[in-house]
Amino acid sequence: MRIHLFIACYNDTLFPRTGMAVVNLLERLGHEVVFPLAQTCCGQMHYNTGYHQEAMPLVKRLMEEFRDAETIVVPSASCVAMMRDHYELMAHNANDARMMEEVKDFLPRVFEFSELITDKLGLTDVGAYFPHKVTYHPSCHSLRLLHVGDRPIRLLNGVEGLQYTPMEGADQCCGFGGTFAVKNAEVSSAMLTDKITCVRKTSAEFVAALDNSCLMQIDGGLHRESGGRGTEGRIRPVHLAEILNSTKANPLTAESLAWDEVSA
Amino acid sequence: MSVRVGHTAEKSAFPILAHEILKDQQTRRNVRHATDVIRAKRALRVEEMPDWQELRTAAHAIKTHTLLHLPHYLQQFEKNCIAAGGQVHWARDADEANAIAIRLIQAAAKKQGTSIAEVIKVKTMTSDEIGMNSALEKNNITPWETDLADMIVQMGNDEPSHIVVPALHKNRHQVRELFLEHMKLTELGTEAEDLTQAARHYLRKKFLEVGIGISGANFAIAETGSICVVESEGNGRMCVTMPQTLISLVGIEKVIPKFQDLEVFLQLLPRSATGERMNPYNSIWTGVEPGDGPQEFHVILLDNGRTRMMANVRERETLNCIRCGACLNVCPVYRETGGHAYGSIYSGPIGAILSPQLNGMQHSRSLPYASSLCGACYEVCPVKINIPETLIHLRGKVVEQDQNSITGMFSQEGMGMKMAAHLFEHPRQYEAAQRLARTGQGLFEKDGKLVNLPGMAAGWTQFRDLRALPQQTFREWWKQNKRNKA
């Protein structure tokens, strides 16, 4: 299958590993990945912060970039939620019939990463190997807007050697919330403290999710707590795609996810 | 028009109020404990309902229909209430409503021959919205709150921190201290039963002595002209049956067309609010009944910014609210801050959309941003108000206002957002910016992490660490390794 990748601007800039994992995994499964180079952003940051006018051209150009794509994968649940929840509404509010048609044509071709693997490719076992204890944080947008349900858990359980351990208070927000994390930084970090307590209780080595944004929040909190001292016992946040891309031949290691502790 | 929402206009922005509350560990423990308990009870009582989603859909449909035909149903209510012996007054805003109430109370006191005007009050958040108590006090009328939690708030010269459980931020021991002081008691046990007994003795006297009652309304039924109040304590039942004169303050959005509509709402409300299958006390009354209950009954129908919300479908939906507080109990933001951080008597997710709209976006402009948009509120809302979508809509209005002002236009956020949008529209410049950020980050990099970032990003690095940008973006990796194939 020919699969177009929308990487999401923040993954592109901050979390390239996730994109590489998606590409390598899909190629390993025998698919061809296309990355349209002119893609940038889905408009979520602007739209959710109230900059609706500024979000509009971003939405339009994204749909234009993927006009010919048959299947689009997005390793960011919140970006997919932006598309499914707001694109139609934006077209409606702008009274733009042509845009509405484009949105209706675009949306059925979009798959969040775990949806692509389970629904479109029909897989729960992708031949991955990851002999570690892993917990899962269902990001709010994947849980309540996309309703991905147990798809990510089924995928985790399909990984050889992986020991999945559920998290208490899993449906509680980690406190990221886009610009909320900086506009209400203090409350955001109080929410994060609660989430980290739940993550720690699982005694997992890794915490997986479908959104690097939430993982960045958790990672930033865990690192701050540790005071940057040592890596022993540190829980590593990691995108589900990286776990599914881990094989016996090319295993994902905790060290590869470590912060660069040495002065640059 | 002077629309007023409690003391909102005098309050600081949400992040500033939240900063103070986050330091108050006792309050945070109280809020956390109380919301956890109610939340679990609600989940239990909702789970047992096979047709919960259908009920939500029905409630949303009834409210939508009613709001679209609001003038019709309000006039129908007025006609039927008057026919049953009630009197109906219309108030455009807080001042008008208070003036009507004061006039009615003074007339009733005169008729009852009491020298000191006093009123007993129950279950009316709307009276807090219009600042009724201070208006009454200014006119030498003493209001006595008789809902247990409202009484606690009044005794502590406090403000409600929750829509349904206004004293949720106080624990039993703090309540005991207040009772000892205000009821002038020398001894008082520490158990909930002891406190309830003390409150009972204290309040019973008021119920027997005060001849004027003020209530709110959960529903006003157009078809019959009836008012419905639900509660757990029975103090409300006392308040609406014991006094000679009863005044009910009713927001115009509280009207429902038919008596039968209660079937839907009385299933949704108690389960959502307190996790009960049914409220212990459901009081429904129609006009006056000679020789039984109040012999003089007034309804004050209050607008106070509500009609302004009717024009836009997204804003109108907020008026569906039946004040169950379920959205507060599941909100991860409210869980950390409690209600006082919202600077409005309507707190939590519903307060974050209701207060700014009631006051026409004049105040509470920080409230639409007091949410991580996690969506838990929408999931539990019994009348299906899409709170996250409404928050985003209101954020749009805040930004629009800002962009029409000089200071807003040149704000750090506004300029940053414009710049980001420009880069996202021009991929080559976007790529150049990615490279520039990687080079520029050296200024803030320490041990592989970024510290003391400037501007808005400072909010991040103040509380969390941030990894330094990786040496290669995804697109750079793609160009290097994959481009030829694609």
Q: What CATH number does residue A179 fall under? A: 3.40.50
pLDDT of residue B486: 45
A196 in any annotated domain: yes
pLDDT of residue A264: 35
A127 in any annotated domain: no
Summarize the confidence of residues B276-303 as an average pLDDT.
Answer: 97
A126 in any annotated domain: no
For chain B, what percent of residues have pLDDT higher than 70? 99
Q: Examine the fold and report which residue of A66, A95, A120 is the final residue of a domain before the chain moves on.
A: A120
Residues A102 and A147 in one domain: no
**Could you report the per-residue pLDDT of B150-181, keeping only the tens digit for each?**
999 999 999 999 999 999 999 999 999 999 99
ipTM over 0.85 threshold: yes
A174, A135 contact by CB (below 8 A): no
Q: How far is CA A181 from the centre of its chain?
A: 17
A7 in any annotated domain: yes
B445-446 and B449-450 beta bridge pairing: antiparallel
Number of domains observed in the structure of chain A? 2
A33 in any annotated domain: yes
Helices and strands counted in chain A (H then E): 13, 8
Half-sphere exposure in the Cβ direction for B400 (13 Å, CA): 10
- The residue count of chain B comes to 486
What residues in B contact A217, CB-CB < 8 Å?
464
Residues A93 and A162 in one domain: no
Residues A115 and A195 in one domain: no
**Phi, psi (degrees; rounded to nearest 5) at A241:** -60, -35
A263 in any annotated domain: no
pLDDT of residue A231: 60
pLDDT band at B1 (very low <50, low <70, confident <90, very high): low
- Which residue of chain A is at minimal alpha-carbon distance from B469? A14
| Domains, chain B | 8-307 (3.40.50.10420), 412-481 (no CATH)
Residues A95 and A190 in one domain: no
Residues A63 and A172 in one domain: no
In this complex, is the C-beta atom of B452 within 8 Å of any C-beta atom belonging to chain A?
Answer: no
pLDDT at B125 over 70: yes
Lowest mean pLDDT among A129-133, B2-6, B272-276: B2-6
pLDDT at B78 over 80: yes
A220 in any annotated domain: yes
**Could you report the per-residue pLDDT of B199-255, keeping only the tens digit for each?**
999 999 999 999 999 999 999 999 999 999 999 999 999 999 999 999 999 999 999
A122–chain B nearest CA distance, Å: 25
Cβ-nearest to A263 among B373, B447, B457: B447
Residues A139 and A250 in one domain: yes
B57, B383 contact by CB (below 8 A): no
Q: B22 and A190 in contact by Cβ < 8 A?
A: yes
Residues A204 and A105 in one domain: no
User: What is the mean pLDDT of each successive set of 10 residues along chain A, which is 264 residues long?
Assistant: 97 97 98 97 98 98 97 98 98 97 98 98 98 98 97 98 97 97 97 96 96 97 80 84 98 88 43
Residues A139 and A116 in one domain: no
Q: Examine the fold and report which residue of A92, A120, A148 is the final residue of a domain before the chain moves on.
A: A120
| Tokens at B342, concatenated | 């919202």
pLDDT of residue B484: 52
Residues A157 and A80 in one domain: no
pLDDT band at B410 (very low <50, low <70, confident <90, very high): confident
Summarize the confidence of residues B98-116 as an average pLDDT.
Answer: 95
A235, A204 contact by CB (below 8 A): yes
What residues in B contact A10, CB-CB < 8 Å?
none
Interface test with B, best of A172, A187, A234 (most B CBs within 10 A): A187
**Phi, psi (degrees; rounded to nearest 5) at B466:** -135, 130
B23, B343 contact by CB (below 8 A): no
**Residue given tokens 């481009």 in the structure block:** B483
pLDDT band at B452 (very low <50, low <70, confident <90, very high): confident
Q: Examine the fold and report which residue of A120, A152, A169 is the final residue of a domain before the chain moves on.
A: A120
A236, A257 contact by CB (below 8 A): yes
Q: A186 and B22 in contact by Cβ < 8 A?
A: yes
- State the count of interchain CB pairs (< 8 A) between A and B: 223
Residues A92 and A153 in one domain: no
Residues A143 and A253 in one domain: yes
| Residue-range definition of the domain harbouring residue A110 | 2-120
In this complex, is the C-beta atom of B37 within 8 Å of any C-beta atom belonging to chain A?
Answer: no
**Could you report the per-residue pLDDT of B294-339, keeping only the tens digit for each?**
999 999 999 999 999 999 999 999 999 999 999 999 999 999 999 9
B81, B408 contact by CB (below 8 A): no
What residues in A contact B445, CB-CB < 8 Å?
264
Q: A185 and B421 in contact by Cβ < 8 A?
A: no
Lowest mean pLDDT among B189-193, B293-297, B361-365: B361-365
pLDDT at B395 over 60: yes
CA–CA separation, B422 vs A242, rounded Å? 32
